[in-house]
């Protein structure tokens, strides 16, 4: 019986907390296993933008697949990366992988599909830039929209910080006296930053400022 390791990814911390997108990917993986047979050894979930090259959880899933002699199972090819070089490097790693949405695709087809996805991302970026230039030419005050967006980000950051008030106070009451110690406490307890990373002293400093618990 074939062995698999699944890799699921969402682009935002909010999707990661809510399960939005993850459950659909998990369902696709389960349907694949029922139809094709096989055992799922481990599931890896990453909250990260597909345009970023740093994908630590993906690296872990590849390493685990190699150790277990398993096939890496991905719900959708675009969950892997919209980057031809990234897909190519995975192909060269020696780990077999299958995209559930194109299970019978060979390596050449997957490379072509990744190229199209990368091209689509470039087109979206260029259309966005063109729309902003056109709006600026029409006299639209883009800075106003930017300030509104920045304000929304600030409110979101404060709301996120409030969700961590209790564990932060717990860290302080347990004797964590430095930013590094608080960061270690939060990370060890399973709490992550808004971007899904381990806590760092600088991140804790910003958290304390938003909670008005500056040290």
Within the chain, strands assigned E span 3-10, 39-47, 71-74, 97-99
Q: Which of 6, 11, 18, 174 is catalytic?
A: 11
Please check whether residue 170 is in contact with residue 215, taking contact to mean a CB–CB distance below 8 angstroms.
Answer: no
Contacts of 198 (CB under 8 A, 6+ apart): 183, 187, 192
Q: Confirm whether 93 is a catalytic residue.
A: no
Please check whether residue 84 is in contact with residue 114, taking contact to mean a CB–CB distance below 8 angstroms.
Answer: yes
Strands 71-74 and 97-99: what pairing?
A: parallel
Query: Which residues belong to the active site?
Result: 11
């Amino acid at each position: 019986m074939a062995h698999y390791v699944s890799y699921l990814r969402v682009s935002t911390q909010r999707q990661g907390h809510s399960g939005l997108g993850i459950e659909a990917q998990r369902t696709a993986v389960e349907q694949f296993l029922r139809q094709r047979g096989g055992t799922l050894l481990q599931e890896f979930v990453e909250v990260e933008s597909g345009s970023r090259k740093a994908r630590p959880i993906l690296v872990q899933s590849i390493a685990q697949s190699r150790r277990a002699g398993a096939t890496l199972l991905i719900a959708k090819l675009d969950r892997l990366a919209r980057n031809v070089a990234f897909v190519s490097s995975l192909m060269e790693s020696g780990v077999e992988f299958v995209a559930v949405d194109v299970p019978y695709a060979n390596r050449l087809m997957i490379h072509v599909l990744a190229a199209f996805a990368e091209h689509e991302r470039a087109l979206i970026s260029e259309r966005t830039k063109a729309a902003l230039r056109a709006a600026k030419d029409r006299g639209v005050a883009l800075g106003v929209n930017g300030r509104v967006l920045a304000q929304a980000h600030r409110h979101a950051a404060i709301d996120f910080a409030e969700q961590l008030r209790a564990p932060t106070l717990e860290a302080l009451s347990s004797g964590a006296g430095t930013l590094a110690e608080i960061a270690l406490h939060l990370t060890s307890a399973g709490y992550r930053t808004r971007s899904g990373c381990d806590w760092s002293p600088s991140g804790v400093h910003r958290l304390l400022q938003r909670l008005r618990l500056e040290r």
